[in-house]
Amino acid sequence: MRAAGGPFKISLFADLHFGENAWTDWGPLQDFNSVKVMSTVLDHETPDFVIYLGDVITANNMAVANASLYWDQAISPTRVRGIPWASIFGNHDDAPFEWPLDWFSDSGIPQLFCPAVNSSYSDSPKRVKISMPGEEECDFRGTHRTELMKKEIDYNVLSHSKNGPKDLWPSISNYVLQVSSSHDRQMAVAYMYFLDSGGGSYPEVISSAQAEWFRHKAEEINPDSRVPEIVFWHIPSKAYKKVAPRFGVHKPCVGSINKESVAAQEAEMGIMKILVKRTSVKAVFVGHNHGLDWCCPYQNLWLCFARHTGYGGYGNWPRGARILEIMEQPFSLKSWIRMEDGSVHSEVILSS
């Protein structure tokens, strides 16, 4: 994709956590509020592109057979504005339902409405079917990553998401997109790499095979490291722990909240070693930690958190979205955070 002349602007929507507690009032209300956050950010920034940075939905809180319904709700504010997007998976997107212990006490199981499989996309009119417990419609085992992605791609011409190479399974959202010059659409201004950092149905990790796929792909399409590369995944790697500031955010880090420990991937299988060897890699962006929004330098690149965008998920820190701005000539990568109330903070240059 390419910008219409000026800089190329991207909005990162992280940890939306749609679909929580559909059997109560507060769950659907959270989603309504998350739509408002996204709408505010999109209307203030009018970005050229949106990246859904994982935990789009909270599948482990969904008593449904197919979670694509909620995934679709989460991408709708971007779609209705005609903005193209790409998405990657977080650890909550394909997790199986976790039954609340309280449902086994005297209070019992609330009346559950299980949307019919594929109902949000079927050609027949939308319907909500009341399923008897135990019937197939209520299987609650999470929706496969492949299924979630297939639905997004098949039904949305604006989606740039990809299922990724089959041999990287069970990780799915592994792909690269080119940001092209506004003068010459063949000329790459930047490559955006998307990686699936796991979790949910399998361990929270970027595999050795994914790292090798990145290395091979980057050497193939950008052999002389001339074009800057930016990387997106959901769960911070262990390197984030090394650079995390203590007690507030201070130089050289830039950000506004530092309220948690970094919840890193389970293991490091090689991706960081490969990234730091490439001078063209400028920054990595992750979500996952709702109480962190900093960027810190790490060797030749920056490690950044996005900003918790959704009202779903833990934490009540004010919601917002990290914005990236790519300038072509000369290349620069700038970032800031746009808040739900319209304010802006934490501007940082990531290309120097």
DSSP character string of 234-265: SSPPTHHHHH--SSS--TT-B-S-B-S-----
Integer Cα distance of 299 and 294 in angstroms = 16
CB of 328 to a copy of itself, least distance (A): 37
Report the residue number, 145 or 288, with the smaller CB distance to a copy of itself. Answer: 145
Computed on alpha carbons and rounded to an integer, the radius of gyration of the chain in Å comes to 20
Closest by CA to 178, choosing from 234, 206, 148, 217, is 217
**CB-wise, 84 or 100, nearer to a copy of itself?**
100
CB of 318 to a copy of itself, least distance (A): 34
> To 5 degrees, how large is the angle CA 88–CA 91–CA 96?
120
Q: CB-wise, 11 or 91, nearer to a copy of itself?
A: 91
Minimum CB distance to a copy of itself, residue 164 (Å): 10
- Residue among 146 and 182 whose Cβ is closer to a copy of itself: 146
Smallest separation, CB 165 to a copy of itself (Å): 10
CA pair distance 287, 305, nearest whole angstrom: 6
Nearest approach, Cβ of 238 to a copy of itself (angstroms)?
14
Tokens read off for 209: 């095979």
Give the sign of the dihedral formed by CA 144, CA 201, CA 12, CA 63: positive
Q: Which distant-in-sequence residues (6+ apart) come within 8 Å of 89 by Cβ?
A: 54, 145, 148, 172, 173, 196, 197, 199, 200, 234
336 with 321: CB under 8 angstroms?
no
Nearer to a copy of itself, 243 or 269 (CB): 269
Beta bridge partners of residue 254, listed in sequence order = 295
Distance of closest approach, residue 90 Cβ to a copy of itself, in angstroms: 17
Cα separation, 218 vs 229, whole angstroms: 9
Cβ 233 vs Cβ 206: under 8 Å: yes
> Comparing C-alpha atoms, which of 34, 95, 35 is closest to residue 64?
95
For a copy of itself, the closer of residues 99 and 314 by Cβ is: 99
φ/ψ (deg, to 5) at 159 = -75, 130
Query: Please, what is the minimum distance in Å from the beta carbon of residue 233 to a copy of itself?
Result: 14
Q: Which is nearer to a copy of itself, 146 or 225 (CB)?
A: 146
Nearer to a copy of itself, 47 or 164 (CB): 164
CB of 108 to a copy of itself, least distance (A): 6
In the complex, minimum distance from the CB of residue 74 to a copy of itself, in angstroms, rounded to a whole number: 22
Q: Report d(CA 352, CA 350) in Å as an integer.
A: 6
d(CA 159, CA 50): 10
Residue 213: CB minimum distance to a copy of itself, A: 12
Q: Return residues touching a copy of itself (CB under 8 A).
A: 96-97, 99, 101, 104-106, 108, 132-134, 139-142, 144, 146, 166-167, 169-170, 198, 201-203, 205, 207-209, 266-267, 269
How far apart CA 348 and CA 296 sit, in angstroms, is 10
10 forms beta bridges with 49, 324
How large is the greatest C-alpha to C-alpha distance in the chain, in angstroms? 67
Closer Cβ to a copy of itself, 141 or 259, answer by number: 141
